[in-house]
Amino acid sequence: MKNIVILISGGGSNMAAIVKAAQREGWVEKYGARVAAVISNKAEAPGLQFASAHGIVTEVLDHKAFPSREAFDAALAQLIDRYDNPGQPVLVLLAGFMRILTTGFVNRYAGRLVNIHPSLLPAFSGLHTHQRAIDAGCQVAGATVHLVTPELDHGPILAQAVVPVLSGDTADALRARVLTQEHLIYPQAIAGLLQKM
């Protein structure tokens, strides 16, 4: 069995979309893969409740309890690696995990560390993507699923979705429109990846 570990910091709606798709599409039977654990760096992340309610192991690793980024990432890797199975290294999905990861961590999971970012990369890496797209006068916005490489919000693109920016859009309105698409492309991209693994 290939284990999938999902890292979150907040609402976890992308994580929930992946869990639901895995159940609906029978990822265990189809790909021999299951969402084994959800790890949050914030104890109050609402997504943890959804995961528990769906019988998924949840863990909290508070980054504030560690003296450095390196120490936090080392502890995180230790937690994640418990889900390695012989010949089946764990697949790690960032789903609204709002921490910058060290190069050491990223390289350890090369090719099996995936992120979703709420913009059409390479445009608008970093934060406040929706407001920046509106301010730039973009007519379209969207989301990108990509493999994670050491450079922030770069790495091979696995999937993208495009939505219109409407006149009078606020960042929140655009965020909601983009998020609906995120919930479709993230599970699809992971299913595609599992098919090739």
C-alpha to C-alpha distances, 146 to 8, 62, 112, 122, nearest whole angstrom:
16, 25, 10, 11
Only one of the segments 10-18, 23-31, 53-61, 65-73 lies at the binding site for ligand GAR (rule: CB under 6 A); that segment is 10-18
Q: Which tokens hold the place of 7? A: 């890292």
Cβ contact 81:5 at 8 Å: no
Residue type, 174: L
Backbone phi, psi, residue 55, to 5°: 75, 25
Of 18, 56, 91, 95, the residue at the interface with ligand GAR (CB under 6 A) is 95
Of 117, 141, 155, 190, the residue at the interface with ligand GAR (CB under 6 A) is 117
Nearer to ligand GAR, 3 or 14 (CB): 14
CB of 43 to ligand GAR, least distance (A): 15
Task: Tell whether residue 182 is a contact of ligand GAR (CB under 6 A).
Answer: yes
Nearer to ligand GAR, 108 or 146 (CB): 146
Which of 63, 117, 128, 183 is the catalytic position? 117
Q: Which tokens hold the place of 104? A: 């050491």
Q: Where are the alpha helices (DSSP H) in the chain?
A: 13-25, 27-31, 47-53, 69-81, 103-108, 129-135, 171-196
117 among known catalytic residues: yes
Nearer to ligand GAR, 3 or 181 (CB): 181
Residue type, 138: C
Name residues contacting ligand GAR, limited to 127-156 (CB under 6 A): 143
Of 3, 13, 40, 41, the residue at the interface with ligand GAR (CB under 6 A) is 13
Which residues on neighbouring strands pair with residue 148, listed in sequence order? none
Only one of the segments 12-20, 28-36, 53-61, 131-139 lies at the binding site for ligand GAR (rule: CB under 6 A); that segment is 12-20
Cβ contact 181:161 at 8 Å: yes
Catalytic positions are 117
